[in-house]
Structure 1
Amino acid sequence: SIDKDLLTKLSKNVAKKQSFLKRDLDARSLSEAYRLMFHLPGTEKLDGSTEATLWTPYNKTHVWGRMFISQNYICFDSRVKGLVTLVVPLRDVSQIERAENQPSNPSVDHSILITTRTAQRATFLFSQIHDRDFVVQKLSDLLARIRIVSREESCYGDEDEWKVQPPMMSMFKPSPSPESKARQEVKAKQWELHFSEYGRGVSMYRTTEIAKLVLQGIPDSLRREVWMNFSGAWNEMASNPGVYRDLVNKNINVPSTASDEIERDLHRSLPEHLAFQSEIGIGALRRVLVAYAARNPQIGYCQAMNIVTSVLLIYCTEEEAFWQLVCVCESLLPDYYNTKVVGALVDQGVLDDLIAEHLPHLHTALQQLGMIKMISLSWFLTIFLSVMPYGSAVNIVDCFFYDGARVIFQVALTILETNQDKLLQCNDDGEAMQQLCDYLSGVFNDEDPHRAIIRDGIPVNKSVSVQSLLYDAYTKYGSLTAGELERLRIKHRLKVVQSLEDGLSRNIMRSIVADGYFKQEELMELLQFVREELLSGQRQQEERYDPSRPPYEAYCVDYELFQALFTGISPWGKGTRPNDLSARLFRLMDRNGDGLLNVREVVTALGLTCTAELTQRLRLLYILHLPPLLPTADVESPTLSEDGAEIATEATDFFEDSLQVNAGSDSSTPVLERSASTSSQQPLGCEESWEVRSMSSLRALMDAPRGKGTPRMSQPHFIALWRSLHDILTAQPEDQQMYHAIASIGTLLLQLGDVGKKFYAARDESNESLVQAAGQWQSPTDTVSDRNGNPGSLADAEWSIALEQFIATTLTGQPIVDFFSQRVDIVEAVSHMRRRRFTTIHTLADLQ
């Protein structure tokens, strides 16, 4: 049903109907903001929201705010920012009911009472809901669709050779000082008191009180639980039981580029911790990283993921660390961990803007030194874990999981402000980086102030406690909001993506322009069109591009897109049967047999049919009609008479009425008829065993000078070749000279093949006797190879033409020479395809 409130406007200054595209984009934007606000899975879509009050039992108050509803969650955010937020998974809800109005207490009018199974505070009361009945019905419908999956249902078999490891801290227990142990116990007590008052788990009331506790640092014993709840990882894990184990079992022994990169970095991951000096920790780290690479092949594995995952494994179980990594890579720091680190590059621009706004004098100096790019990558990719002691950086991770990415910007600005005076005195980037490195290496944890900091075996001077650093960050830059960050990210994302794409395009151009098929501007136009098609949403590449491979492999084209390019650009695609040639050309160019062509292969295919020299084009046309590209079975007549197939009649019809097919001197059967009748039932096994070798040979012929070693062509294959040539040439404007050239040259080539038949018959009488024997026994299965190793029937070996004969004879027809010498205007052809594409879209829209 149409949302009339959305589509109809009261103001006469705006359209009465809103674009459905805009409505869809607005809905996506709202869902994205909703997921970001409450740290929900990426698949969650906002269904709607309404004004309501939430009863907060810890202070016995009705708090006004907005109630949000999606497929799997009920959420609440107060009007007063940061006062209270709430997330209630529908999987935990046992009952939804209307609460009775109380005349003595109008604050609870139009209330809904939600009862849960797991929360410490089992009920949540929402009041002042305008359309309560509708909301109750909606929630009831959503609740009815929820399937509760227990952990026992997930695929946790005992037959696996490995087991999910518990937190590394429980197996490799540290030896804290008495002072540190006492502080941990005090903090744990404070958290337990908070849980008793505000609830525990995903559905706890999140207030400024919890923010204060997080800022002081989460006790080690509770870090696992709090991280899982605040990051959204618990929601992901609960929604995907058994997925981690399945990913590990299916991929742990599968060789891949990502696996090789992971193995190389395993022993560089937090080597100072005992867990990662043993196979227990290394094995768990390997499984988590391999599972994530399999889950998200667009990212695969990226350096820095190993460091983050190592710290997650210290405090969380193996499976929990996996889902934490999912949240970091896909929600909290999106696009950071891919081969181009797009997200980190975007945030470089964001940090640059923030430094310019808050620290203008330092900004000028850092720009001159080129420092911003260096610090943002190393700091942000590992959430400071690689630049300061992990025992201190883990407190920053606490705040990161609670407050999101804004924390790393607040900390970065605070570090730069603290070191501003010293940085302004530095003469070069090396001196400035050393200053920051010394400062960050000396960050210590107040819980154990007497513990020495050792870096590379050398004691480091302490600089500041991580607690003080975080306090200053929130005090000085607490006004920085997630919304402001997103606006700045949008501003810089387009610049970064465009810059990366332009750089990749230049690399592709440099790698293929020397092939000589197209000019630079033509290549750029063609490449731009391919990029547009791949980004259209219908042809997304599943695997990420490996930068160690050649640049032209960055984009891959499937057959559907290649066919569109072939028919839209190449003159060979303008006939009535372009699919035959495009399919064979695609197969010839697909050297690795993966069903995709890289950019170089696409350019080569189009160049050979659009801009190559005349003889190169004719040689390609000839090769496209050789087996196995054109199997023998595909060129035989589908109808057989008692005496054989009537191929001669078909050939006569094709080459016009004036074309005569000569018969052999020893038989009244036309040559083409004999050729087919003796080869119509060739065993499949013979051709299949030869096909792979022959395909690679055909590809090698494309690179051979002057087509040296090209096999001779049998008569059925020649008929198919000339049919294709006729189809290509007659697609042009009607030209009597062209028709005459096609007929006369076709006749001449048939006569040449017949002369060759007599020559080979005289040359090898034994072959002729075999042919006669085959005729007497009427055996269609005997085969013989020609001088070049091509399999065929005995009669096939009689009639044949060579590539040189085909080219030399074809060159006598001036209209054909003119056609194959024309150079296609690629820029105009691609522009025409663009116009046709958009015209087609509009036409389809008009029909709806």
Structure 2
Amino acid sequence: MSFFASLREKAPFLDRISETFTPVLTRDEKFKLEYKLPKGENILDDINADLSFLHPSTRSRNGKSPVSPKAQQMAVVFSGKVYLTPHFILFKDIFDQSSCVLILNISTIKRVERSPSASYSCALLVTLYSGTQILFQFIGLKYRSEQFCELLKAKLRENIPNAKTLPKFLDTCYSEFLIRKNILGLKDTQPPRAGLGQQFKYPGNPVLAREKAKLRLWFEYFRENGRHLSLMKNPTFHKLIRVGVPNRLRGEIWELCSGSIYLRYANPGEYEKLLIDNKGKPSQAVDEIEKDLKRSLPEYSAYQTENGIQRLRNVLTAYSWKNPDVGYCQAMNIVVAGLLIFMSEEQAFWCLNNLCDIYIPGYYSKTMYGTLLDQKVFEAFVDEKLPVLWEYIVKHDIQLSIISLPWFLSLFFTSMPLEYAVRIMDIFFMNGPKSLFQVALAVLKINSDDILQADDDGMFIAIIKNYFQTLDQSAHPDSPDMKYRQITKFQELLVTAFKEFNVITEQMIYQERSRHEKTIFQNIETFVKRTQLRHMPRTFHLTDDNLSNIYDIYYNSIESHKISMGTGSSNMNFDIFVQFLSKICDWCKPCERDSDPAFRKQKSGFLRRLFDDWDTASIGELTLNDVVSGLDKLVTPDLLESINYFFSLYDSDNDGELHREEVLQLSEGLLLLTEPWKSGRYVDLLTKKSIEDDIAENIAKEKIIEETNNGDSADISMEQIELPTGVTVDEEKYRAEQAERYLKAASNFLQRSFEYAQSLDIAEEVDLIDLSDSDDGETNQEDKLQKKKKKYESIKANAALDPTHPKVIDLATFRMIILADETYELFFAKTFRLSIHVDESVQSDNNKNNALRGMFDGILADGRRVAEQVRRRVDSVATRNSMSSVDSQTGGSLQATVNTDKYDDMDDFTSDQQLEHEELLNNPWVDVDDAVDGKEPVRQERAIQALPPQLADHDLIEFEA
């Protein structure tokens, strides 16, 4: 083992140092995350200042006595920094940044006035709606203080409309109710609407929990340090939370700690609007919510009634519509059910928002990546902090995540009795997600002796389950000291978690998450991909590798969708669909003609037609299954199937016929699809064969001349043929020939379409020729007949353009027209299919303008086909020379004659038919590839079918000497 490897094994913390993870956040993002402020609360200005908090404790109960100057002088002064955002003034002390943290909503400010000061450049006395006064004494240059004051003045004006909604909001805060009733003496004040516990009782025994004593402590704190939107947090605040929050105040304290109270104030009425706007709308999330409603904390009586179920349904449904990326995830119902015991529906809704966004992101996503990642982090902490226990767990193959996953996912609500779970939640909302790891480690630490006796997962689960059910029992029942016997297991759990494992920090969690994040995301993506590929529709022409490649390209095209996180829509809209096809289809890739508006419109029209055909659900979006099914149709190797599908794209009414406008649209679609070959960006097999033939012809001539000059035999083997390295190709020639061929094919298609189209008013056309007898003379009758014939011929010739004489083509006619043209026939047989690259990864096409050069280089690199053609040509010349030699010796001639003995109806085989027959038989489209592939020579078959019936079964040609 090397020195560095040995050192790394002995000092594993070196890995931690090298991989320290700090979230890449801006100053504003860190600021909002630390103080749980809403989005948009960016820092506008900050300045050093001293703060004095002057609470109205010296007021009389009738509220008429002002604060005395002596009380102002005795106020505690904190030095720190003041931050100004669009809706908040935030102060934090410079000592330990926790002795005094004031988060003040500007809407709560009633008056701001300058205060005279001899020691400071500027001082502001801020009076709140509650009568509390805050003195800000700015430290630094005077112009900076004035600048801050002017900006504050502008924001105060902007917040006037928000201040008008403050009284209605305060009616929902229980802390305000306490002050109004006990300080202001308003006896008629009604408590605000709270959670289900107000009606169905709160968990636990209020006497044992000392609810009244805790409530009095919080009342004193509110009176001296403000409340809700103007609360100052100091060490006493954190201590009161650790001691325990009274049930009636728990909902508001959770709101304050999580920052959801700021969201609720900033978005009045949004929760109710979500419910009203989406009432009765179906969704997958709503269906899943209905399945889990009655499985949400069934031990609590409220969730056995319609009232409790309806509240839970409302919150979960509203959140699923607000955040469709998350929608609904199992265990979310458990957490919301716990929140609703202490919160109103609106409070629970906004608290759930911050839970999912700030505290436990990814826990309730579609892939639950946050929970899976934190399980790896937890295992790393167990390995580090409890090495003996971890070694035993690994040795006995105990799956720790089986027992720990529900702790994190349900935030301990399903693991321990509710009265203790909510105490964990108190600290969780105050300290953040590190509390979950601390409590989980404490559970394992306390039960480590029993766990070391477990042999399997079942015993491990039983030990932990029994522990949670006995949290109210004494942790030291056999101790002689009464104080120790009075310590419960839950108290022991809190002490162990937040003192012994206080070393677990947010930075350590970020660090461990960064170490395992990549592995977790890769595992999730692999699992999701394997699952989706398994459930894809059946395909006939796409292989497993094709499907895997299509999957990758599909999700790479949808940049907003994160597979590992399960966020963003996985469906493809039309714009993304165009981008997707441009990555795999030659005819959809960007080209120079895209700058032409007419071409762009033509291209968009065809792609929209294709998109609508693939959109089987008619929702304006394509799923992965839709795309796979659509591509499977496009890449079919069957010629007739490809022709049929293209016809069906334009047969909008599915009547099996295309009218004039549809035929014109179809011709435009063919022009669009063949544009890359018409422009010479790509080449088809006919052009390739032409290049090969020309190269072979040149090489053969050189070989024959060489052999003739040497006087050797023309018997040449494949090994003797070498392709010349200096051969050049006339690219413009082949590009022009290919362009001319495609233009001619398009012209012929339109001409033949209207030529062979069927008229929809044949009866009327027949009636144009009147064959009935007439009393007029023969001359007049003949003249009329000739005129009618001319008129009929004229109308017949222009019927395609005459709207009064509509024509249609059916599928059989369309097939005939395509098969009659070698370019279009080859296009549907091979070219179109080969232009769709579902078998290769997406790469940039840097040589799209050098398609001919690339093909020529390929021919030279692999010259077997050319060499074979060279050999055939040389052998043919040698054979002709040999036969000429024989002919000269015998005095005869080699000729091709028609064997007239084998049939008697030679006269029926006209000269025109012979020419047509020879032309079709000699067509160069039938090549060696077709014979090797076992494909039927279509054009030769049509040539034979063109013969008269009496010749079809005879041998037509024989060779005689």
TM over 0.5: yes
SS, match of residue 831 in structure 1: coil
Counterpart residue number, 2:866: none
Task: Flag the 1:142–1:514 CA change in 2: closer, same or farther, 3 A.
Answer: same
User: Which residues of 2 match residues 377-456 of structure 1 at below 5 A?
Assistant: 377-444=405-472
Counterpart residue number, 2:819: 808
2:12 corresponds to 1:67 = no
CA deviations on 1:538-587 (whole Å, 9 max, x unpaired) are x899x9789xxxxxxx7211111111233443233367442222111111
CA deviations on 1:461-499 (whole Å, 9 max, x unpaired) are x99443332222111122323343334334444433333
User: Which residues of 2 match residues 133-212 of structure 1 at below 5 A?
Assistant: 133-146=146-159, 147-148=161-162, 149-150=164-165, 166-173=194-201, 179-180=207-208, 183-212=210-239
Counterpart residue number, 1:285: 312
Q: 2:844 aligns with which of 808, 829, 832?
A: 832
Greater Cα shift, 418-427 or 237-246: 418-427
User: Which residues of 2 match residues 476-491 of structure 1 at below 5 A?
Assistant: 476-491=500-515
Q: 1:262 aligns with which of 289, 307, 329?
A: 289
Counterpart residue number, 2:108: 92
SS, match of residue 316 in structure 1: coil
Counterpart residue number, 1:30: 27
Conserved in 1, the CA contact under 8 Å of 2:557 and 2:580?
A: no
SS, match of residue 356 in structure 1: helix
Instruction: Quote how far apart the aligned CAs of 1:249 are.
Output: 2.0
Distance 1:167 1:618 in 2: 66
Matched to 2:844, the amino acid is H
Conserved in 1, the CA contact under 8 Å of 2:371 and 2:405?
A: yes
Distance 2:204 2:497 in 1: 28
SS, match of residue 579 in structure 1: helix
Matched to 2:606, the amino acid is L
Q: 1:601 aligns with which of 601, 626, 629?
A: 626
Instruction: Quote how far apart the aligned CAs of 1:604 are.
Output: 4.2
Distance 1:485 1:834 in 2: 46
Conserved in 2, the CA contact under 8 Å of 1:297 and 1:544?
A: no
Distance 1:616 1:463 in 2: 80
Instruction: Quote how far apart the aligned CAs of 1:510 are.
Output: 4.0
Matched to 2:425, the amino acid is V
CA deviations on 1:86-126 (whole Å, 9 max, x unpaired) are 21112222344554332xxx4x55444433224x6332435
Counterpart residue number, 1:634: none
Counterpart residue number, 1:739: 740
Conserved in 2, the CA contact under 8 Å of 1:168 and 1:281?
A: yes
2:524 corresponds to 1:500 = yes
The size of the alignment, in residue pairs, is 672
Matched to 1:499, the amino acid is N
CA deviations on 1:306-360 (whole Å, 9 max, x unpaired) are 2222222222222222222222222222221122122212211221222222112
2:633 corresponds to 1:618 = no
Q: 2:806 aligns with which of 796, 801, 804?
A: 796
CA deviations on 1:479-537 (whole Å, 9 max, x unpaired) are 323343334334444433333223222333444496255555555454334433423x5
Matched to 1:333, the amino acid is I
Task: Flag the 1:477–1:303 CA change in 2: closer, same or farther, 3 A.
Answer: same
Distance 1:728 1:345 in 2: 47
Counterpart residue number, 2:674: 729
CA deviations on 1:181-222 (whole Å, 9 max, x unpaired) are 7x2212222222333333332432212222121111111232
Task: Flag the 1:717–1:285 CA change in 2: closer, same or farther, 3 A.
Answer: closer
Greater Cα shift, 341-350 or 522-531: 522-531
Counterpart residue number, 1:688: none
SS, match of residue 55 in structure 1: strand
Matched to 2:843, the amino acid is S
Distance 2:303 2:100 in 1: 40
Distance 1:496 1:540 in 2: 14
Counterpart residue number, 2:19: none
SS, match of residue 315 in structure 1: coil
Greater Cα shift, 423-432 or 713-722: 713-722
SS, match of residue 421 in structure 2: helix
Counterpart residue number, 1:22: none
Distance 1:364 1:768 in 2: 97
SS, match of residue 205 in structure 1: strand
Counterpart residue number, 1:115: 127
Distance 1:748 1:562 in 2: 29
Task: Flag the 1:81–1:740 CA change in 2: closer, same or farther, 3 A.
Answer: closer
Counterpart residue number, 1:636: none
Distance 2:634 2:516 in 1: 42
Which of these two proteins has the greater Rg computed from alpha carbons?
2
Conserved in 2, the CA contact under 8 Å of 1:571 and 1:609?
A: no
Conserved in 1, the CA contact under 8 Å of 2:660 and 2:808?
A: no
Counterpart residue number, 1:822: 834
Distance 1:769 1:91 in 2: 89
Matched to 1:796, the amino acid is P
Instruction: Quote how far apart the aligned CAs of 1:63 are.
Output: 3.0
Distance 2:336 2:315 in 1: 8
User: Which residues of 2 match residues 1-20 of structure 1 at below 5 A?
Assistant: none
CA deviations on 1:709-748 (whole Å, 9 max, x unpaired) are x813334433432343234334321342563465368547
Counterpart residue number, 1:10: none
Matched to 1:422, the amino acid is D
Task: Flag the 1:411–1:745 CA change in 2: closer, same or farther, 3 A.
Answer: closer
Greater Cα shift, 720-729 or 233-242: 720-729
Counterpart residue number, 2:373: 346
Unpaired runs of 5+ residues, structure 1, are: 1-24, 157-163, 450-461, 547-553, 629-693, 695-709, 773-791, 837-848
Matched to 1:135, the amino acid is F
Distance 1:364 1:715 in 2: 79
SS, match of residue 561 in structure 1: helix
User: Which residues of 2 match residues 624-703 of structure 1 at below 5 A?
Assistant: 624-628=649-653, 694=654
Distance 2:846 2:635 in 1: 19
Counterpart residue number, 1:127: 138
Matched to 2:467, the amino acid is Y
Matched to 1:349, the amino acid is K
SS, match of residue 91 in structure 2: strand
Q: 1:467 aligns with which of 491, 501, 510?
A: 491
Task: Flag the 1:500–1:399 CA change in 2: closer, same or farther, 3 A.
Answer: same
Distance 1:614 1:730 in 2: 20
Conserved in 2, the CA contact under 8 Å of 1:761 and 1:798?
A: no
Instruction: Quote how far apart the aligned CAs of 1:272 are.
Output: 2.1
CA deviations on 1:671-710 (whole Å, 9 max, x unpaired) are xxxxxxxxxxxxxxxxxxxxxxx4xxxxxxxxxxxxxxx8
Instruction: Quote how far apart the aligned CAs of 1:417 are.
Output: 0.9
2:529 corresponds to 1:528 = no
Once superposed, what is the RMSD of the aligned Cα atoms?
A: 3.9
Distance 2:342 2:844 in 1: 59
Identity across aligned pairs (percent)? Answer: 26
Conserved in 2, the CA contact under 8 Å of 1:522 and 1:826?
A: yes
Q: 2:332 aligns with which of 305, 317, 332?
A: 305
SS, match of residue 324 in structure 2: coil
SS, match of residue 495 in structure 1: helix
Conserved in 2, the CA contact under 8 Å of 1:252 and 1:291?
A: no
Task: Flag the 1:496–1:714 CA change in 2: closer, same or farther, 3 A.
Answer: same
Distance 1:511 1:771 in 2: 64
Q: 1:77 aligns with which of 62, 79, 92?
A: 92
Distance 2:746 2:30 in 1: 70
Task: Flag the 1:317–1:98 CA change in 2: closer, same or farther, 3 A.
Answer: same
